[in-house]
Amino acid sequence: MFELDIRSRKPIYEQLVEKLKELIITEVLKTDEQLPSVRMLAQQLTINPNTIQKAYRELEVQGYIYSIKGKGSFVSPASDGLNTEKLLKVKKDIMKLLSEAMYLGVTADELITMIKEINTTIGGGIENDQN
Amino acid sequence: MFELDIRSRKPIYEQLVEKLKELIITEVLKTDEQLPSVRMLAQQLTINPNTIQKAYRELEVQGYIYSIKGKGSFVSPASDGLNTEKLLKVKKDIMKLLSEAMYLGVTADELITMIKEINTTIGGGIENDQN
Amino acid sequence: MFELDIRSRKPIYEQLVEKLKELIITEVLKTDEQLPSVRMLAQQLTINPNTIQKAYRELEVQGYIYSIKGKGSFVSPASDGLNTEKLLKVKKDIMKLLSEAMYLGVTADELITMIKEINTTIGGGIENDQN
Amino acid sequence: MFELDIRSRKPIYEQLVEKLKELIITEVLKTDEQLPSVRMLAQQLTINPNTIQKAYRELEVQGYIYSIKGKGSFVSPASDGLNTEKLLKVKKDIMKLLSEAMYLGVTADELITMIKEINTTIGGGIENDQN
DNA sequence: GTGGTCTAGACCACC
DNA sequence: GTGGTCTAGACCACG
C-alpha cells in the first residue's frame, strides 16, 4: 500500500506525510475515516512507531487529520480551517514549478489539460469563500 | 544580487541552486554565459566557498550549467537533452501541488489564469518562498 | 446544551470541566443548584459515564461543586474559602498570557478594554476555544 | 536556570517551551541571540536531547525561534510573522481566565495594575499593524 | 559541533 | 487498545 524508499534522502516521515496527504486529497481516505493506528502501521511497514507518529503529528499540524488520545487518528474535513497562509505558500510553489516546467518545454496547453484532469479526479471544485 | 535567507530551514546551497535556476530560467543568465567564480561569489555573499561549490555541482548534475576545468562554469543551452526524465519529475511534482491547491480550495480557473500569466511574463521576475 | 468537540486534542473530561466551570462562573448554574446526574448527562451526551464522573470529581477538587452521596452534585457558593491558592495560580496564568499577548502586539489599552467588558457582562456568555 | 518538574503531569518539553517563551518575551533572550545547543542543554538539565529538540521544534513552529542545521538555534525577531490566528487564541484564553479571576474575587483594578506592570517589564508597546 | 532523523523499548493518559 | 511522552544511543547533513 505504501511504498517507502528507505534509502531516499527524504526523511521517512516526510514520505509518509506526502503519501497520506495524497490519499486524503484524492479522497481515498474520507472525512472522519480512521487512519491505521500508529502501532499497526509501524508493524506493517516495519518502521519505528515513533516515525509514524511524527508523520501523524505533522499531518495534524497541517490540518489534514486529528488525533484523539485513546481512540485513534482521523481525517479532518476539507477546508476545515485557516488555510489562508498555506494557500499562499502553495501558490508560490506552483508558480515556481510551472516556470521550471515551461522552461523545460511544457506548453501551457499541456498544463491546462493536467488541471482539468485533476479537477475530475477530485470530484469538482470545493466551495470555499474565506480567501 | 542574491538575497539568501540565513534563517530559512532550507540549506543555503539549496537556496543558491534555486536562485541560480531562476536566473537561468528567466534568461537573466543566458546560454553559455559565465557564472561568477566560486571564490568571488563566496566573498560577495560572505559564505563558505564549499557551499557555493556544492550548489554549482548540483546545478551541473541537474543539467543547468556545465563546468570547464580551469575556465569556470557556464549556462547550458535549454532543452539540452536529458530533460526527459526531469520533465517527468517536474510534471509529477506539479500534479501533486495542483491537487493540493485544489483541495485547499483553489479553483481550476484561478490556476489557468496563473499559467497564462507565466506564459506571458516568462522572462520576468519570479518570487521565491523561504521553505 | 453542551457542545463537546470530539476532535479536540483536549480530553473530553477537561472540556466538560471547562464548560461547567463557565456555567457556574456566569451563574447560569447558581449556588446550591443541582447538577444533572452522571447517568443522565452521559446519556444525553452519548459519552461514557466514567468520563462524566471524572469531570465532576475534578470540579469538586477545584472547589466549584460539592457532592452528597446518594443525592447528587451541587454548585458550591462562590469565594468558598480555598480560593487563596487558586487565586495565586490564576493570577500567575494571567500574567503569563498577558505577557504573551503584549509580545504579540496587543496594546495595554486593548487589554483594559477587555477587562472592562467582562466587568459589565459578567453573567453573559463566554466563548471557548477548542484547544 | 531552568527548574523543571520531572514529576509534573505537564510534559517536560512543554515546560521547556514555556520557560523559553518567557525568557524570549521578557527579552532575557534577545533577537538573534543563540540558544544553548540541544546537547548542551540536555546535559545541563540531565534530560534526553530528543526532548530538548522537541521543545525547540515546537518553539520554531510557534515562531519564537529559528534553527539552522549545523549552526544552532536562535531567537526570532518579535512580531515576525503571521500571528493573527495566534492572537485570536490568546485573546480567547485571556477572556476565559479573566472571567475566572473575577469570579474568584479579583477586581478590575487589580487586573489593570497587573497590565501596567507588565507593560513596564517588557519595555512598552510593540508596534504592530497587521491585525 | 550543530540540528535532524531514526530505532528500540518503556511507561502514562484516555476511553 | 489508542495516541503521547521519554530515554538511550546511533547515524546523517550542514557549514
Residues of A numbered 39-68 whose beta carbons fall under 8 angstroms of chain D's beta carbons: which are they? 61
- Cβ(A4)–Cβ(A12) under 8 Å? yes
Distances (CA, A) of D50 to A64, D13, D33: 25, 9, 22
Mean predicted lDDT score pLDDT of chain D: 87
Q: Do chains D and C touch (3 or more CB pairs under 8 A)?
A: yes
Q: Which nucleotides of E are covered by protein (CB under 7 A)?
A: 1-10, 13-15
CA A13 – C1' F9 distance (Å)?
20
Phi, psi of C73 (to 5 degrees): -115, 145
The one-letter amino acid code at C130 reads Q
B-chain CB neighbours of A94 within 8 Å are 94, 97-98, 101, 111, 114
Q: Do chains D and B touch (3 or more CB pairs under 8 A)?
A: yes
Residues of B numbered 10-39 whose beta carbons fall under 8 angstroms of chain D's beta carbons: which are they? 11
Helix (H) or strand (E) segment spanning residue C109 = helix C108-121
Burial class of B68 by CB neighbour count within 10 A (0 to 12, 13 to 18, 19+): exposed
Mean pLDDT of all residues in D31-59: 96
Q: Which residues have a Cβ under 8 Å from the Cβ of C29 and sit 6 or more positions away?
A: C20, C23, C35, C75
- Cβ(A110)–Cβ(A104) under 8 Å? no
Query: Who wins on pLDDT, B13 or A103?
Result: B13
Tracing cell 506493517 back to the chain, one arrives at: A44
Helices D84-103, C12-25: crossing angle, 10 deg rounding: 60
From A61, A82, A85, residue closest to D61, measured CB to CB: A61
pLDDT surpassing 50 at residue A125: no
Q: Which residues have a Cβ under 8 Å from the Cβ of B76 and sit 6 or more positions away?
A: B31, B63, B64, B65, B66
pLDDT surpassing 60 at residue A131: no
Query: Who wins on pLDDT, A75 or A129?
Result: A75
Amino acid B91: pLDDT: 86
pLDDT surpassing 70 at residue A72: yes
Closest CA to B38 of B54, B23, B49: B49
A-chain CB neighbours of B86 within 8 Å are 104
**What whole-number distance in Å separates Cα of residue B17 and Cα of residue B19?**
6
**What whole-number distance in Å separates Cα of residue B128 and Cα of residue B119?**
18
- Counting residues of chain D whose pLDDT is more than 90, the rounded percentage is 53
Which stretch, A66-80, D72-86, D95-109, has highest mean pLDDT?
A66-80
**What whole-number distance in Å separates Cα of residue C119 and Cα of residue D106?**
11
Amino acid A3: pLDDT: 85
Summarize pLDDT for C1-21 with one digit per residue, the tens: 678 898 889 999 999 999 999
Helix (H) or strand (E) segment spanning residue C23 = helix C12-25
Give Rg (Cα) of chain B: 16
Dihedral sign (CA D24, D27, D33, D38): negative
CATH topology of domain D12-75: Arc Repressor Mutant, subunit A (1.10.10)
pLDDT < 50: residue spans in chain C: 123-131
The nt closest to A73 (CA vs C1′) is F3
Amino acid C58: pLDDT: 93
CA D49 – C1' E4 distance (Å)?
12
The one-letter amino acid code at A44 reads Q
- Cβ(B9)–Cβ(D56) under 8 Å? no
Amino acid C63: pLDDT: 87
Summarize pLDDT for A25-65 with one digit per residue, the tens: 999 999 999 999 999 999 999 999 999 999 999 999 999 99
The one-letter amino acid code at C13 reads Y
CA B25 – C1' E2 distance (Å)?
34
